């Protein structure tokens, strides 16, 4: 049976991708396999939903996230993807202190370069989402919604920090 928090994240992931207004693909896994992939025309994962985590090219990055329980940022050049340069952010999904999976954001760097004030946009998005998240947590009576919001806010904070530091 799938973890309730993972179900909630899978449900809202397409909305999150739209809210970023960027060319962003999202992958969600439990600790064993990828459960859902939300791709764009330019950003395709080299595997399908259902693929075992250990069978992907991202195993080193995923192992680092599992070990540190911290988001990890890395880059994939166009010569590898065949399409565009990609910045990928993998973050753990925590439920009651236990890591139940990972969420991966793959961002089209060519698209990102077209947005001069990308870090400002993300900072504004992250800052405006925090009061909403607090309100939603208070109003939520469904288990796991607060953790979904927290995971997404952590990812936003990681994106903002990497944009501010020119990573």
| Other residues' Cβ atoms within 10 Å of the Cβ of residue 134 | 12
Q: For the chain, how long is the longest CA-to-CA vector?
A: 47
Over residues 105-160, the pLDDT tens digits come to: 888 887 666 554 445 545 555 555 455 555 555 555 454 556 666 666 666 666 65
Over residues 80-119, the pLDDT tens digits come to: 877 788 888 889 999 888 999 999 888 888 766 655 444 5
* Residues 26/6, Cβ–Cβ less than 8 Å: no
How many folded domains does the chain comprise? Answer: 1
Q: Which domain holds residue 111?
A: 4-164
pLDDT band at 34 (very low <50, low <70, confident <90, very high): very high
CATH number of the domain encompassing residue 127: 3.30.450.20
| Other residues' Cβ atoms within 10 Å of the Cβ of residue 41 | 9
Residue 16 backbone dihedrals phi, psi, to 5 degrees? -65, -45
């Amino acid at each position: 049976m799938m973890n309730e928090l993972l179900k909630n994240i899978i449900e809202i992931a397409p909305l999150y991708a739209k809210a970023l207004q960027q060319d962003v693909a999202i992958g969600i896994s439990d600790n064993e396999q990828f459960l859902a992939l939300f791709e764009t025309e330019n950003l395709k994962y080299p595997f399908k939903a259902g693929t075992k985590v250990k069978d992907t090219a991202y195993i080193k990055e995923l192992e680092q996230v599992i070990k540190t329980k911290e988001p990890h940022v890395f880059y994939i050049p166009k010569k590898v993807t065949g399409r565009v340069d990609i910045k990928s952010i993998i973050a753990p999904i925590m439920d009651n202190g236990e890591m139940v999976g990972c969420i991966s954001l793959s961002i089209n760097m060519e698209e990102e370069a077209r947005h001069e004030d990308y870090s400002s946009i993300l900072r504004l998005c992250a800052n405006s989402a925090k009061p909403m998240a607090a309100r939603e947590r208070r109003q939520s009576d469904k288990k796991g919604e607060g953790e979904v919001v927290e995971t997404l806010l952590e990812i936003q904070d990681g994106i903002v920090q990497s944009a501010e530091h020119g990573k």
